[in-house]
Structure 1
Amino acid sequence: MKTLEAIKQKINKIDDENKLFIAKNLVARDPDIEKIKSDLGVHLPKSYQWFLKTYGAGGVNGVFIEGMGTPDHRYAVVEETLDFRKDHPSVLPEWVFLEWFSDDWVCLLDTSGCHETTEECPVIVYQIGEDRWEKGWDTFADYLEERFFGGGDDRKKMELLC
């Protein structure tokens, strides 16, 4: 797993080049993390909590990861996750919405797979039309690193999962 500090350094470098759209003014505080966990009934992995506290939401290179929202929609990840669960009843209640990957694929945290020692969980990719899913990344940090800086065609990952 990539260290969060190394990811932060890469993000900061891109930020200096004005190539990102991170919502730094909407970062989470500890009470926000507790509300998200409570409202969704899940345990959030440490790396996703770090992302929420450090950046709030957003991304780089055309990737947008859900998190904190505007003051009117402070808990955007809660809204998106609950809406997604409602629209897709077969989705497990332990899954937390992260991003639309393409028209029919989404990325979700699988909090049911949180490791007791590392407090990390896998990120899955879910194909909406087929109602199927596969593990995409071992941790949120791995997902973040690849989605932001992978440099390759992420659709190849989808093809491998099909």
Structure 2
Amino acid sequence: MYERLADKLKTTSALKWFPGHGAEESWIAEVEEELGFSLPPSYRWWLVHYGNARLNGGNILTVSAPEHREYDDSDLLYIHRLNKAEDWWVSRFPNRMDLFVPDSDELYFFDTSSRNEQGEFPIMCYDLMNDLIDTYAVTFAEFLERLIDERT
């Protein structure tokens, strides 16, 4: 199902990932329970098979072991909790769940207000300099492929 992405991950030098650090299903289930919804299928696939990656000085957020979640700034739920604690963030971005915050003037997030028929959330790119938000990809798999293609 994700063969093209897996092939790109084997050959890319743009994205740094470390084999054997995938998330366990129980960790993902715990995150989904707290969030109140299922994570997108292609993101779940990524979490189980790869789990982590760095690109342009930033981490593509992952699901960490529960015992590390309270201080792991690459954990999706940890970052989501921090964001939700900010009143301005909740009022301006109620359906935003950060996914990738590179060392640049943009950030990428899941728009949890809509799902496609495969259960995927669109990934939005927030241009911080111009205060613009545009759709970057319709699935997490497409998001990763596009990041790799743009940086290869």
With the length of structure 2 as denominator, give the TM-score of the two structures.
0.77
Residues 33-72 of structure 1 mapped to structure 2, 5 A cutoff: 33-59=28-54, 64-69=59-64, 72=68
Partners of 2:59 and 2:102 within 8 A in 1: no
How far residue 138 of structure 1 moved from its aligned partner, in angstroms, is 1.5
Give the direction of change, closer, same or farther, for the CA distance of 1:101–1:20 in structure 2 (3 Å limit).
Answer: closer
For residue 101 of structure 2, what is the aligned residue in structure 1? 100
Query: How far has the Cα of 1:27 moved from its partner?
Result: 1.1
Report the secondary structure of 1:64's partner residue.
strand
Q: 1:43 Cα deviation (Å)? A: 2.5
Q: For each residue in 1:85-118, what CA deviation from the matched residue of structure 2 results, as whole angstroms up to 9, or x when unmatched?
A: 33423222x3221111454421001122112x31
1:121-158 deviations in whole A, cap 9, x for unaligned?
21012245776522221111111101123247xxxxxx
The answer to whether the 8 Å contact 1:43/1:111 transfers is no
Pairwise CA RMSD = 2.8
Is the strand fraction higher in 1 or 2?
2
1:20 positional shift: 4.7
Aligned equivalent of 2:76: 77
State whether residues 99 and 108 of structure 1, in contact with CA within 8 Å, keep that contact through their aligned partners in structure 2. yes
Work out the CA distance in 1 between the residues paired with 2:32 and 2:130. Answer: 28
1:114 aligns to what? Answer: 115
Aligned to 1:86: 85
Alignment partner, residue 156 of structure 1: none
| Residue identity in the other structure for 2:68 | D
Q: Once the two structures are aligned, what percentage of the paired residues are identical?
A: 22
Query: CA-to-partner distance for each residue in 1:36-87, whole Å, 9 max, x for gaps?
Result: 1122233211011111011112145656311033652378110012212334
Could you say which structure has the higher helix fraction? 1
Residue 5 to residue 60, structure 1, CA distance change in 2 (3 Å): farther
- Contact 1:85–1:91 at 8 Å: present in 2 too? no
